Chains A and B, each alone.
Chain A
Amino acid sequence: MTATANAIPTQAAEATSVGDVVLDVQDLSVAFPTEEGLVKAVSNLSYQARLGRTLAIVGESGSGKSVSSMAVLGLHNPKRTQITGSIKLDGIELVGAPQSTFQKIRSTKAAMVFQDPQSALHPFHKIGKQIAEAYLAHNKVSKAVAEKRAIEMLDLVGIPNPKRRALQFPHEFSGGMRQRAMIALGLVNNPKLLIADEPTTALDVTVQAQILDLVNDLQKEFGSAVILITHDLAVVAETADDIVVMYAGRGVEKGDAKEVLAQPSHPYTYGLLQSLPSHSEDLTELKAIQGSPPSLLNLPPGCSFHPRCDFKSQVPGDACWTELPEWRPTPGLANRQIRCHLTDPVGTLQEDEGVR
């Protein structure tokens, strides 16, 4: 772990109004040393989350989506993780920060809703107490006040009869109710940033929409920033404002969520969208991206995606094999950035879609 810039929390630049940057991640790399070598889970990732907006981080399993956001809350074991770059949460530098700093910002400035509420809630503690505990940790109030606050939060996330429910254990809740309780726990200290790590993956399809609506409604009410980690592009289309597409630990395309889904400009994003089943076409086979994600122990040289890319032949020379593409604005599109060597990515991908 290297402490770049300043390890001392600075009080500057607190985000207060909609559109302000709450989380500024710059050049973040997260690696885990193992016996087989260094697992580079996240490499040189940069993104920003703004108040009142939802940022979707999209990618396959193992693309570094969760790893990068767990670094924000300092949930990696510092002894077994190498983190470099910069994570500025509400003006506080978190890379290299001591545990005491993380303890202060957890739940108050940034909170996380985890994928599987069944395993993320403690089976031995009552729901109300689990929520009250987070409130008590940061507010000098009595237990009774904290428990009342927990009941209010349960009410807020739409749990009927919250007073009685607060006294129940997680196993007495349904899956959707548990995730609502997780969200109540996440919001109890009114954080500026809520990270939802695949919040709907473990839930029934019918419940998924309810949970997403809830997150959206609460975001409007609280005006907080939301980072939505998902591999579900339908979820992104419905809820996200901004998007970062990740591949093998790196961002490959970022921009406005709806625009990116409507017109992808990176071959990987394009492949992801092509692989979605469509209602209009009569398909016998899904158009999957060929191959599988690379090992994070041993990333391919050049562009990590080149072994699976259908368009590498259209790049002159051997740039795809030898040269890591840097971020650049997509030619012809405003407000869009990609890491790709294609000279005219938009045209190339449109041409391909026409052929198919």
Chain B
Amino acid sequence: MLTYILRRVALALSVILATLVSTFLLFFAGPSDPAQAMCPETRCNPARLEQITKSLGLDKPLSQQFLEYFKGLFVGRDFTYAGDTVHCGAPCLGYSFSTRQSVNTELFTRFPNTVVLALMAAVVFVTVGVTLGIIAAIRRGTPADRGIIGSSQTFGAIPYYVLALLVALYPVVLWNILPQYAPISAGVGPYFLGMLAPALILGLYTSTSYTRYTRNSMLETLSMDYIRTARSKGIPERTVLVKHGFRAAMSPIVTILGLDIAALLTGTLITEQIFGVDGIGRRTLAAFRAQDLPVIMGSVLIGAAVVVIMNLVVDIAYSFIDPRVRLQ
């Protein structure tokens, strides 16, 4: 078990490193010029451009830039700007090109908002999706089954951004049924109430695929020989479905759930943008527009870490659900 975890951690670190290197290279391989983006249009001249490039450290060789960034992650680094030297302690993600703020502060104050949104949505899509999927599977072929599957497919076929926009527009902005997003500084109550609309729509939309996964998985499980064996014992049908069917049906769902939560944690971009949630996805989008390399690198780092950690969590959870799975 210990060697397994050590191996997985080593693997995780190499995946994160590879992600960072490729993001870095891709950024410079593209037609990117952060200095140009920052240079005021009216008073931009070559001298000024050069000065900005130099102040951002973009004049140094790529390898040196990356090594400095990497050094900052582990031991911290110093930044010199306009004669002042600022020390940035490890893990240092650098300073935003456009806002001059510490990337650590920029991202870690916003990340909790994304986490809250993602987890609230996950609660919605797991409860709604799994419940409806189980009902559809048990009532297979009945109007209940057809109703659930039909409506989930119809709902799931609408483009997400259209649905999210409609919800943001009507119940939130025009009818005021659901409160608008408020930062945590406005108080815990308004904060969570404001998260309700984005979490509900994100959760309900994602639940449509969970309904279908769960129904398929449950139907497959119920056709297994061991379900027939369970019935032949003379135990109540409910026990057959719950104790023998449900647990086995859930094991593939756990894998998808882990990866979906990881995907949401790396930024619920459309939702954050539409509902004005000040999360990591929205900040990253802004960073892409401003060609703000340190912020892009920082959010890629967080995203890679989240995906790698969730994968590990899924594998460990799996070994608890299915005794045949051994962590080696």
Write the residues of chain A forming the contact surface with B, with a CB cutoff of 8 angstroms: 73, 75, 79, 99, 102-108, 111-112, 114, 116, 119-125, 133-134, 137-138, 169, 171, 182, 185, 189
Contacts and interface: CB of A to CB of B under 8 A. Distances in A.
A137 B236 CA distance: 8
Interface residues of B, number: 21
A124 B234 contact: no
Nearest to B141: A79
A111 B225 contact: no
Contacts of A185: 229, 233
B239 to A, nearest CB: 8
20 contacts: A75-B228, A79-B141, A102-B234, A103-B237, A106-B233, A107-B232, A114-B225, A120-B228, A120-B229, A122-B229, A122-B230, A123-B248, A123-B324, A124-B248, A124-B321, A124-B323, A134-B235, A137-B233, A138-B234, A171-B323
B227 to A, nearest CB: 8
A260 B234 CA distance: 36
Given A123-B248, A123-B323, A108 B234 contact: yes
B226 interface: yes
Contacts of B60: none
Which 3 pairs across A and B sit closest by C-beta, in order of nearness? A106-B234, A134-B233, A119-B225
Nearest to B245: A122
B247 to A, nearest CB: 6
Interface string B211-248: 00000000000001110111111111100000010011
B68 interface: no
B229 A105 contact: no
Contacts of B323: 123-124, 169, 171
Contact of B226 (A75, A107, A122, A169): A122
Contacts of A116: 225
A79 B140 CA distance: 11
Contact of A107 (B233, B237, B244, B247): B233
B78 interface: no
A123 B229 CA distance: 12
A106 B232 contact: yes
Interface of chain B: mostly helix, strand, loop or mixed: helix
A138 B232 CA distance: 12
A134 B234 CA distance: 7
Given A169-B324, A171-B323, A171-B324, A120 B234 contact: no
Contacts of A122: 226, 229-230, 244, 248
A114 B234 contact: no
Given A106-B233, A120-B226, A124-B248, 10 more contacts: A73-B231, A75-B232, A105-B234, A106-B234, A119-B226, A120-B228, A124-B321, A125-B244, A134-B234, A182-B229
Given A169-B323, A169-B324, A171-B324, A124 B247 contact: yes
Contacts of A112: 232
A99 B322 contact: no
A107 B321 contact: no
B230 A114 contact: no
Nearest to A103: B234
Contacts of B141: 79
A102 B247 CA distance: 25
Interface string B12-24: 0000000000000
A120 B236 contact: no
B161 to A, nearest CB: 40
Contact of B234 (A104, A123, A169, A171): A104
> Which among B228, B236, B321 has the highest number of chain A CB atoms within 10 Å?
B228
Contacts of A182: 229
A170 to B, nearest CB: 9
Nearest to B233: A134
Contacts of B244: 122, 125
Contact of A133 (B224, B233, B324): B233
B136 to A, nearest CB: 16
A264 to B, nearest CB: 33
A79 B321 CA distance: 32
Nearest to A169: B323
A273 to B, nearest CB: 31
Interface in B302-328: 321-324
Contacts of B247: 124
Contacts of B237: 99, 103
A188 B39 CA distance: 83
Nearest to A116: B225
Contacts of A103: 234-237
Interface in B94-125: none
A22 B253 CA distance: 45
Nearest to A131: B233
Contacts of B232: 73, 75, 106-107, 111-112
Interface string B127-147: 000000000000001000000
Contacts of A114: 225, 228-229
A123 B226 contact: yes
A107 B234 contact: yes
A119 B224 contact: yes
Nearest to A134: B233
A114 B230 CA distance: 12
A185 B230 CA distance: 10
> Which among B231, B247, B248, B321 has the highest number of chain A CB atoms within 10 Å?
B231
Nearest to B244: A122
A99 B236 CA distance: 9
A79 to B, nearest CB: 8
B76 to A, nearest CB: 49
A121 B226 contact: yes
Interface string B178-208: 0000000000000000000000000000000
A103 B234 CA distance: 4
Contacts of B228: 75, 114, 120
A119 to B, nearest CB: 4
